Amino acid sequence: MTTRTPEQIFHDHGQALGSGDLDRISANYAEDAVFVTPSGVLRGREGVKRGIGALLGDLPNAAWELKPQLADDVLFLEWSAATAHARVGDGVDTFVFRDGLIQAQTVRYTLVAEEG
């Protein structure tokens, strides 16, 4: 089996996020992955599902703008997203890739409710 490159993993991760399928999303993560947020560390694929589920719950059906920068097995991602009811203008994630999977991810963003 050929190991996927970080670019291939991140592309598939984006496709999976668009589907909203937490099982498909978590399949891109290592069994022992860590998902680090300001509110704590989530572990394993179940932790990833909780963390990504919270993000997708905050921003359902969002329009996303991504600015990724890849350096070897580390990807720095600045992002923004908007829905009818909320937006994020300062999203920052870091991904660490190992053996064809995401080994670690940090996530930080400020959710702003849209008035109206």
Alpha-carbon torsion 34, 37, 42, 44, what sign? negative
Q: What pairing do the DSSP bridges indicate for beta strands 101-108 and 112-113?
A: unpaired
Q: What is the pTM of this model?
A: 0.93
Mean pLDDT throughout 12-23?
92
Q: Where are the domains of the chain?
A: 6-113
State percent of the chain over pLDDT 70. Answer: 97
Q: Residue 1: is its pLDDT beyond 60?
A: no
Terminus-to-terminus CA distance in the chain, angstroms? 52
Q: Domain 6-113 class?
A: alpha beta
Q: In terms of pLDDT, which residue wins out, 3 or 26? A: 26
Q: How far is CA 19 from its chain centroid?
A: 13
Per-residue pLDDT at 114: 83
Q: CA 56 → CA 4, 48, 71, 97, distances in Å?
A: 25, 12, 27, 22
